[in-house]
Structure 1
Amino acid sequence: MALHDDGYTFALADDVTRTPVRYTNRYGIEIAADLYTSKALDETATHAAVVIGPPHGGVKEQGPGVYANELAKAGFVAIAFDPSYNGESGGEPRHVTSPEIFAEDFSAGVDYAGGLPYVDRERIGVLGICGSGGFALSAAQVDPRIKAVVTSAMYDISGVKRNGWENKGTDEDRRTPLRAIAAQRWADVDAGHPALQTPFPKEFRPEGLSPTTAEFHEYYVTERGHHPRSIGAFTITSEAAHINFGELRWLTDIAPRPILLITGDRAHSRYFSEDVYAQAAEPKELVVIPGARHIDLYDDTALIPFDKIVAFYTDCLR
């Protein structure tokens, strides 16, 4: 899916309207989002809404818009947003990653949705793709206004930073990057600005890359998912916040609100969804899509189980 003339990686459905909107989160940061509604939406009635966050490092013109487009076709009011400090959203310095603020961005989306006259405040859910899956769950732990949570190809960014891949990290694995981050802070002080991680390359060259990195590059670097505001790099010193934040600790507090976890049987991230499913209280459901890799759940409408997602929200946001 090459970048379209409108700057999006997918085609907008003929029966859907997309409207750029702006609102602020509780830190005063302006959030850039797109509001998706069916052209047949009756604005004299109230409807359910879903707030949708992107993969970690992604933007609203990619996966979130794909999901919002489909949900709007099904009659939901859908909001796809850029996280603070990234995409078209505000916040300085650019490309910060913050587990607390990224979770807050979901609650800010709930604020905005609930302010629309045709949205029922008791019928608002969230949907997080990849890293936003963890942030959506984190938001729901403390924001009971969120009535239902869907994650797709979920990553727990803070959990993996603190505990290592598949929870196999050692104490030294955690302390080593903290020492490097501390040194980087002095370097940033001396330079007068924060350094960024290495961004995505300009060309897709999978040779020499790990399978996971090659898969991400297949999406973000090629015309399939490339977007100029999705650079694949955050400020280096942001990492400390994730290590300090730790894993999702209060998943049971989401109950009795329902959780739907979607992953692929070929997804390298599958264990994140399985861990959350094991830790969360009922009601919960884990759906494993045959043949789906991690990135396929970003945009492959033939594999993403939209019928299941629509049925879940229809039932839970009645």
Structure 2
Amino acid sequence: MKKKPIIKGGLHLLIVMVLAVLVSTNTVSSATTGSPAAISLAWDKTFPKNNKVTVEKVSYTNRLGINIVADMYLPKNMNRAKKSSAIIVGPPFTGVKEQTAGLYAQEMAARGFVTLAFDPSYTGESGGQPRNIASPDTFAEDFSAAVDFLGTRSFVDRNRIGVIGVCASGGFAVSAAQIDPRLKAIATVSMYDMGRATREGLGLAVTPNDVMTKEEQIKALEEAAEQRWIDFESGQIKYGGGTAVELKPSAEAAVREFSEYYGTPRGYHPRSLPYSLTSRGALVNFYPFEHIDTISPRPILFIAGENAHSRYYSEDAYKLAAEPKELYIVPGAGHVDLYDRMEYIPFNKLESFFKANLK
């Protein structure tokens, strides 16, 4: 029997919860900036615990002085006297470490790596004010901060640190790798270019005619800019998408797919919240593939589902990247299938990629 969404308010509210600053047909009411979530030591993940792994809650600051809270996963009974390779895992847009990123981190730790799944700045248990805003440059910095932390652990070889970016974190990880050569191997899964998605809209692989027009892009930016005055005067932030441009049919299809994860017990987590409407401007100005060729000679692995609405992001990035590079298509998989469907996620491929390139 198919589970019904647990988020109240139907598809419109779900859109803003899942897609945050992207164009939507409804909005979330204003809220105060709030504080980071209280740090929990309980197992509050959306996936079961693996007994082959131990997990430690850790925290550290990024270059901007923001406190980052992360879960570090270690192979059980690992020898801390020896230096191991490590992998950083970034979550999908608005996601937290207790969801997809944690699942990937735990599984890769079970395969012998030290791994780290973190809450991005302004999100979940991590610090930063105001809460739940999107800042691509800060999100890229969060990956470098994770390298800072892992590379100073006595049991990690700082010359063998890689990264997995899932969905939006794929774009942020690629952006970080262009400026941080300490990331030695880069893998993306169901990658999203959040700059292009914000400028053009979602779900365009199947329906190119649904790309936002220049006039629609301007209307959306004007709405976000106008909201800055409202937020400034009220001291409160409006979260979610705007009403200036209606959601296109292909984007609605993408939202329904996201809802199968975020809107049901499968992936819902109370700390995974929408980003602010005024974040749109920062995202529109984000071009993560502009210098992707400079990552070479470090290797990049792009993983996408055969049926993913987002597949074209990985295909376009692959074309722009320099060797060594690989595009791996998962047969029968959609975009969100690679968030948590163990029968689809190619962990064997990820394991072989990192063992070959972090040695």
| TM-score between the two structures when normalised by the length of structure 1 | 0.92
User: What is aligned with 2:267?
Assistant: 225
1:184 matched to 2:224? The reply is no
User: What is aligned with 1:202?
Assistant: none
User: What is aligned with 1:238?
Assistant: 279
Runs of 4+ in 1 over 4 A off after TM superposition: 163-169
Letter aligned with residue 98 of structure 1: S
Q: Alignment partner of 2:46: what SS?
A: coil
Give the paired residue count.
305
1:271 to 273, 288, 312: 312
CA offset digits 1:231-283 (Å, max 9, x no partner): 2x111111101112334200001000000011101111101000101110010
Using the aligned pairs only, state the percent identity.
50
Give 1:172 deviation, angstroms.
2.5
Q: Which one is further off, 160-169 or 39-48?
A: 160-169
User: What is aligned with 1:287?
Assistant: 328
Give 1:184 deviation, angstroms.
0.5
Letter aligned with residue 179 of structure 1: E
State whether residues 194 and 286 of structure 2, in contact with CA within 8 Å, keep that contact through their aligned partners in structure 1: no
Letter aligned with residue 332 of structure 2: G
Cα distance in 1 for partners of 2:325, 2:135 equals 27
1:95 to 126, 129, 132: 132
The correspondence of residues 286-305 of structure 1 with structure 2, limited to 5 A, is 286-305=327-346
Letter aligned with residue 307 of structure 1: N
1:174 matched to 2:217? The reply is yes
User: What is aligned with 1:205?
Assistant: none
State whether residues 30 and 90 of structure 1, in contact with CA within 8 Å, keep that contact through their aligned partners in structure 2: yes
User: What is aligned with 2:17?
Assistant: none
2:195 to 133, 158, 174: 158
| TM-score between the two structures when normalised by the length of structure 2 | 0.82
Cα distance in 1 for partners of 2:167, 2:197 equals 13
Distance 1:163 1:279, change over 3 A: farther
Cα distance in 1 for partners of 2:157, 2:84 equals 6
- After superposition, the CA RMSD in angstroms is 1.7
1:128 matched to 2:165? The reply is yes
The correspondence of residues 1-318 of structure 1 with structure 2, limited to 5 A, is 6-165=43-202, 166=204, 168-197=211-240, 210-231=252-273, 233-318=274-359
CA offset digits 1:272-313 (Å, max 9, x no partner): 000101110010101111111111101111110000000000
CA offset digits 1:61-80 (Å, max 9, x no partner): 00011111111011100000
> Gaps (5+ residues) in structure 2?
4-41, 243-250
